[in-house]
């Protein structure tokens, strides 16, 4: 019997391949799995940040938290008006201006994005893995943003006088990955930065990039930015040269 290479590939991916068939359709079991995956993806978009748990878990690793908000008012507006998700509301600006301790080179930001559950699950675990690997001082308050987009990290980093801004944000949920998180790092964060100024580490989740390796990549990027005073497309990923003799 000829070997089915699709079934072999299925051992290495959560992608919807080698599903089989029943006549001209998918097997009933696969149809039900698809409907479940679709429901989980929809639920992920409307999930809420668990600020209380994020705050408690942050304390365990020696970090404080501050909750701020973009100019978005609800889930519908978040999907329809991305630009407002890149801007802080006025109360949040006042809160950050009055933050007592802004000392540090790197600010860490956590935002719901399109999957709040992703950051609820992964954010603090990744930060815990990352902190020992960093060679620069961290601002010891994690800024948690409701209804934030990636570029809000520029506004926050600029207000905190940070050299580097790191934002952990829930990715757009897929049918096999409703709880995947991305990390974006920007040197010299400031309002008006465009996407080519950022570096991204994506697919941080149990079935994807594990915390230890993601933390290693982020520490490498932060080190390169600190040394070269640049970020984004000008930074080349030579991680293996950096960590291996």
- Pick out the residues of the known binding site for adenosylcob(III)alamin: 150, 171, 200
Q: Are 49 and 122 in contact (CB under 8 A)?
A: no
Annotated binding-site residue numbers: 150, 171, 200
Query: For residues 18 and 195, what is the distance between their CA atoms, to the nearest angstrom?
Result: 36
Per-residue HEC secondary structure of 189-218 comes to CCCCCCHHHEEEEEEECCCCECHHHHHHHH
Query: For residues 48 and 165, what is the distance between their CA atoms, to the nearest angstrom?
Result: 23
Whose CA is closest to 156, among 82, 92, 231? Answer: 92
Give residues with Cβ within 8 angstroms of 49, minimum separation 6.
Answer: 112, 116, 119, 120, 144, 146
The first and second tokens of residue 44, run together, are 């992920």
Enumerate the H helices of the chain as residue ranges: 5-9, 28-45, 51-60, 75-80, 90-97, 116-130, 152-159, 211-228, 239-243
């Amino acid at each position: 019997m000829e070997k089915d290479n699709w079934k072999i590939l299925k051992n290495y991916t959560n992608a919807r391949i080698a599903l089989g068939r029943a006549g001209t359709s998918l097997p009933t079991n696969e149809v039900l799995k698809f409907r479940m995956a679709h429901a989980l993806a929809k639920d992920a978009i409307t999930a809420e940040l668990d600020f209380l748990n994020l705050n408690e878990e942050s304390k365990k690793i020696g970090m404080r938290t501050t909750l701020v908000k973009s100019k978005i008012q609800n889930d519908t507006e978040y999907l329809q008006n991305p630009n407002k998700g890149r801007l802080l509301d006025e109360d949040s600006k006042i809160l950050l201006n009055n933050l007592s301790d802004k000392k540090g080179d790197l600010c860490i930001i956590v935002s719901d994005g399109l999957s709040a559950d992703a950051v609820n699950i992964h954010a603090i675990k990744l930060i815990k893995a990352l902190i020992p690997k960093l060679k620069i001082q961290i601002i010891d308050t994690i800024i948690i943003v409701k209804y934030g987009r990636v570029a809000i990290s520029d506004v926050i980093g600029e207000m905190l006088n940070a050299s580097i801004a790191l934002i952990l944000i829930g990715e757009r949920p897929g049918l096999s990955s409703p709880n995947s998180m991305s990390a974006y790092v920007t040197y010299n964060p400031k309002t008006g930065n465009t996407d080519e100024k950022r570096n991204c580490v994506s697919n941080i989740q149990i079935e994807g990039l594990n915390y230890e390796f993601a933390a290693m990549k982020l520490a490498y990027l932060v080190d390169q930015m600190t040394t070269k005073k640049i970020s984004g497309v000008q930074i080349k990923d030579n991680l293996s040269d950096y960590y291996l003799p």
